[in-house]
């Protein structure tokens, strides 16, 4: 992403980190509008790469997921693609939470059978998770963290529910590091993607928001620092497609 002159965000640009309720309402309404086209546009606009990034995220968590009775929680789960990827490696439970019902409805439609429970989807706000302290082994978010009204509050809540030794994984848009590809990608992201997204979804706004929120989102190093400041250790990241997206991993230590 390009760095604009403005400061990196401390929360979704649809509102303010100090106006959590109204920002959350705007974010939820935006995803309600885009839900019917969300999966199709995701895969189209990323040429299917988004699926491989979520698979790689699950793969990076394989060891924790493979523990018997592990509990994984995918926050801001949307239509569930990361939760389903986690399921492939899990020998325990996979929970997935989002505060937008139309996104959750689409996720539930992807369950192999209505009565099967490979993933438990629930309505919940990431800033107020309905889980006990120290109860989850792995907390993940794919392209959801950027939309939180307040990033510090989000990290505080994700850390609260993680067990000591538990792993946090944040997959988000980031800063493209490849010199030639970078400008081309930024042109695509700023001009082509919002146009296609608006044309196909019939909703103006969300795909411009995608560009605006991603281009001002903290880059790899800045996000690493934010996660460290939230009390996590062993913070590291890996880039996908030269930094179009990055996966940050971190651990909650005791205390």
Ligand X SMILES: C[S@@+](CC[C@H](N)C(=O)[O-])C[C@H]1O[C@@H](n2cnc3c(N)ncnc32)[C@H](O)[C@@H]1O
Binding footprint of ligand X on the chain (CB under 6 A): 24, 27-28, 31, 42, 76-79, 81-82, 98-100, 103, 125-127, 142-144, 147-148
Choose between 76 and 169: whose C-beta lies nearer to ligand X: 76
Minimum CB separation from ligand X for residue 25, in Å? 10
Closest residue to ligand X, based on beta-carbon distance:
78
The stretches of the chain forming alpha helices (DSSP H) are: 20-34, 38-45, 49-60, 62-65, 81-89, 101-109, 151-161, 181-187, 193-201, 206-215, 220-229
Minimum CB separation from ligand X for residue 179, in Å? 28
Minimum CB separation from ligand X for residue 124, in Å? 6
Choose between 1 and 24: whose C-beta lies nearer to ligand X: 24
Minimum CB separation from ligand X for residue 140, in Å? 8
Choose between 100 and 250: whose C-beta lies nearer to ligand X: 100
Cα–Cα distance between 75 and 170 in angstroms, integer? 10
Q: How crowded is residue 106: how many other Cβ atoms within 10 Å of its Cβ?
A: 17
Choose between 118 and 178: whose C-beta lies nearer to ligand X: 118
Dihedral (CA of 76, 79, 85, 87) sign: positive
Cα–Cα distance between 97 and 30 in angstroms, integer? 17
Choose between 235 and 245: whose C-beta lies nearer to ligand X: 245
Instruction: Say which DSSP state 223 is in.
Output: H
Minimum CB separation from ligand X for residue 200, in Å? 16
**Nearest of 50, 38, 39, 10 to residue 244 by alpha carbon:** 50
């Amino acid at each position: 992403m390009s760095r604009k002159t403005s400061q990196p965000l401390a929360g979704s640009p649809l509102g303010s980190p100090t106006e959590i309720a109204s920002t959350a309402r705007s974010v939820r309404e935006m995803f309600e509008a885009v839900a019917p086209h969300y999966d199709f546009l995701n895969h189209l606009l990323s040429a299917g790469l988004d699926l491989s990034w979520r698979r790689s995220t699950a793969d990076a968590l394989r060891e924790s997921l493979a523990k018997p009775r592990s509990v994984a929680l995918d926050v801001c789960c949307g239509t569930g693609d990361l939760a389903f990827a986690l399921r492939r490696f899990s020998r325990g439970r996979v929970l997935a939470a989002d505060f937008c019902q139309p996104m959750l409805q689409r996720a539930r439609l992807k369950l192999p059978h209505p009565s099967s429970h490979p993933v438990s989807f629930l309505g919940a706000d990431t800033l107020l998770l309905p889980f006990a302290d120290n109860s989850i082994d792995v907390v993940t978010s794919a392209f959801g963290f950027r939309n939180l009204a307040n990033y510090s509050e989000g990290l505080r809540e994700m850390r609260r529910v993680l067990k000591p030794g538990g792993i946090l994984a944040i997959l988000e848009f980031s800063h493209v590091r490849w010199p030639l590809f970078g400008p081309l990608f930024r042109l695509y992201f700023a001009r082509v993607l919002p146009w296609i997204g608006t044309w196909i979804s019939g909703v103006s706004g969300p795909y411009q928001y995608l560009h605006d929120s991603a281009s001002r989102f903290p880059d790899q190093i800045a996000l690493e620092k934010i996660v460290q400041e939230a009390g996590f250790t062993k913070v590291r990241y890996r880039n996908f497609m030269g930094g179009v997206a990055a996966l940050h991993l971190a651990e909650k230590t005791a205390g």
